[in-house]
Amino acid sequence: MTLKISVIGIGYLGAVHAASMAELGHDVIGLDVDPARVAALQAGRAPFHEPGFEELLRRGLASGRLRFTTDYEELAHADVHFLGLGTPQQADGFGADLSHLRSAIASLAAVLPARDGAATLVVGKSTVPAGTSRSLAATIEQVAGVRLMWNPEFLREGFAVQDTLTPDRLVYGVPDPDVEDDRVALLDAVYAPLLEHRVTRLVMGYEAAELVKVSANAFLATKISFINAVAEMCEATGADVTDVSRALGMDDRIGHKFLRAGVGYGGGCLPKDLRAFLASAEEHGVGEAVGFLHEVDAVNQRRRARVVTLAAEMLGDLAGRRITVLGAAFKPDSDDVRDSPALDVAARLLEAGADVRVTDPEALAGAARRLGPERVVAGTEDALAGADLVVLLTEWREYRDLDPATTRRLVDMPRMIDGRNVLDPRQWREAGWEIRSLGRAA
Ligand code: UGA
C-alpha cells in the first residue's frame, strides 16, 4: 500500500528517513525551515557525507516519489507525519532542547485538516526525554482524528541507510500498550516491507519507547568508557588493553562491539544523550540511580587529556612543536565534527602552544570552522610533512593502512600516538618509530 508521508526536519535522521520511505514505495515529502538544505536535497545533493545516501536520494527524486519543501501547507494531506527534528543539548544545561520539536508540532497542527474518516498519524523519531510524547500528544491530538506515536531511531552515521532499511528492531510507543490501537496498524503499513523481512516490532508505552533510545545510547557510552577505564589500568600496570578487550569480547554476554579502547566517544548523539538522560533522571527524582553516568562522561574526557599528557611526555615542551593530527570527524566515514574527540584534542594541543595541523578525508570544513583554516591541510602526505609528532585520532581506512617506512620519510621526527589502537606498535617500532598507544604500556 502506498501511503502519503511527510518527514519534518530533514537533517541527518530526517533526510535518510525520507529517502528510505520513498525507497519502500511511499509518496514522500520532506520539510525543513532551512531553504538551503531543501534546495540541496531537491537538487539531489547530500548536505552531509553518508555512504549510499546520495544514490537513494537521487533514485527517490527520479521516481517522483520524493520531494522537499519549506511550506507546511504542502504537508496537510499526508497520512503519516514523521518528526525528525534535532534535540540538542540546552545552551545553559544538560537537558534536551525540545524547542524545534515543539515549534514543528505547532506549525503542523495549524495546517492539519480535521479528518473524520481515516486517522492522521504523527510519529516522533527524535531522541527525547521520557514524558515528552505524552505532553506533545496533548497538543497535537487536539486536532480531530490526529494520533501520536513515538518510534525512536537507532541509526548510526556511516551506516544510516542500512540501519534504516534493515533495523535490528522497530519500537512503537503508544499511550497505553494494553489497549487495542489502530495507529499500530497504520505504522505497520508504512513499514510493511521491513516487517515482511521479519524485522521484529515491539509495541510499548510512550515512556518505555523513549527510554529504550536514551538508555541504548547511555549503555553504549558506558561500554566504551568501561574499556577506557580498563585502559587506564593497563597503562598503570603494563598490560595491553587490546589483549584484555579481545578476550573479554569472546564472552558472548559481553561481546566485542563498542569495546574498542581509545580516545573515547563523541558525535551528535552519545555525549548529549548521556547528559540529557542525567538531567531527566534528576527531574524525576532518581538522579542518584544513574549518577555513575557522570563518571562515564568523566572517563571519556580524561582520555582526551591523556593524549595531551602523552604528547608532552614524548616532546617535552609542546610550544612551537609541529604536531599533525590525523582525523577530525568524530568517527570514520563521516564528516560530522560535533563533539569530536579529534578536534577537542587538537584544540587542547593548540592551547598548549603546539603548531598543530589537522587533516581528514571528509571533515576539513568542520575542522576549519573549529580551529581556523590555517590549521587545516588537505591530503595526508602534505599534512605529515615536517611533523615532530603524529597523533592518529579518527581511524579512517587510509590512516590504518599507513606504511611505517613510507610515513617515516615524510615526517621530521618519527613519533606517533595511536589514539584508536589501530596500528601495530611492533611493526612501527621496527621501522624506527617511537609509538605510544592509549591503553598500552610504552
Ligand atoms: C550512535 C548510536 O550508535 C546509534 O545507535 C544511535 O542511533 C545514534 O547514536 C543516535 O542517537 O542518533 P553514532 O553517533 O552514529 O550512533 O556513532 P557510534 O557509531 O555509536 O560511535 C560513537 C562514538 O563512539 C564515536 O566517536 C566512536 O569513535 C566511539 N567508539 C565506538 C569508541 O570509542 N569505541 C568503540 O568501541 C565504538
Residue 375, strand partner residues: none
Together in a domain, 235 and 189? no
Together in a domain, 287 and 344? yes
Together in a domain, 180 and 241? no
Q: Which residue from 290, 373, 362 is spatially nearest to 94, judged by alpha carbons?
A: 290
362 lines ligand 1 (CB under 6 A): no
Q: Which residue from 70, 55, 68, 71 is spatially nearest to 23, judged by alpha carbons?
A: 55
C-alpha cell at position 315: 616532546
Together in a domain, 166 and 222? no
What's the CA gap between 47 and 36, in Å, rounded? 9
72 lines ligand 1 (CB under 6 A): no
Q: Whose CA is nearest to atom 3 of ligand 1?
A: 156
Task: Count the domains in the chain.
Answer: 2
Ligand 1 geometric centre to CA of 323 (Å) = 27
20 occurs within a structural domain: yes
Ligand 1 geometric centre to CA of 317 (Å) = 34
Note the pLDDT tens digit of each residue in 212-233: 999 999 999 999 999 999 999 9
Q: Whose CA is nearest to atom 17 of ligand 1?
A: 156
Together in a domain, 147 and 240? no
Most ligand 1 atoms within 8 A of CB, residue of 49, 164, 331 to mutate: 331
Together in a domain, 171 and 247? no
Together in a domain, 167 and 235? no
Query: Residue type at 231?
Result: A
Ranges of residues in the chain whose predicted pLDDT is under 70: 115-117
Most ligand 1 atoms within 8 A of CB, residue of 125, 128, 156, 259 to mutate: 156
Q: Tell me the ipTM for this assembly.
A: 0.97
DSSP string for 335-388 = ---TT-HHHHHHHHHHHTT-EEEEE-SS-HHHHHHHH-GGGB-SSHHHHHTT-S
Q: Which residue has the cell 519534518?
A: 8
Together in a domain, 271 and 128? no
What's the CA gap between 134 and 142, in Å, rounded? 13
* Full domain range(s) for residue 311: 217-437
Q: Whose CA is nearest to atom 20 of ligand 1?
A: 156
**Catalytic residue annotation:** 269
377 CB contacts (<8 Å, ≥6 apart)?
357, 358, 359, 383
> Which run of H or of E encompasses 12?
helix 12-23
Q: Which residue from 187, 106, 183 is spatially nearest to 142, judged by alpha carbons?
A: 106
Identify the pLDDT of residue 116: 64
Together in a domain, 194 and 222? no
42 CB contacts (<8 Å, ≥6 apart)?
61, 67, 68
Distances (CA, A) of 273 to 287, 298, 337: 15, 15, 16
204 occurs within a structural domain: no
Identify the pLDDT of residue 67: 98
Identify the pLDDT of residue 93: 83
Together in a domain, 126 and 83? yes
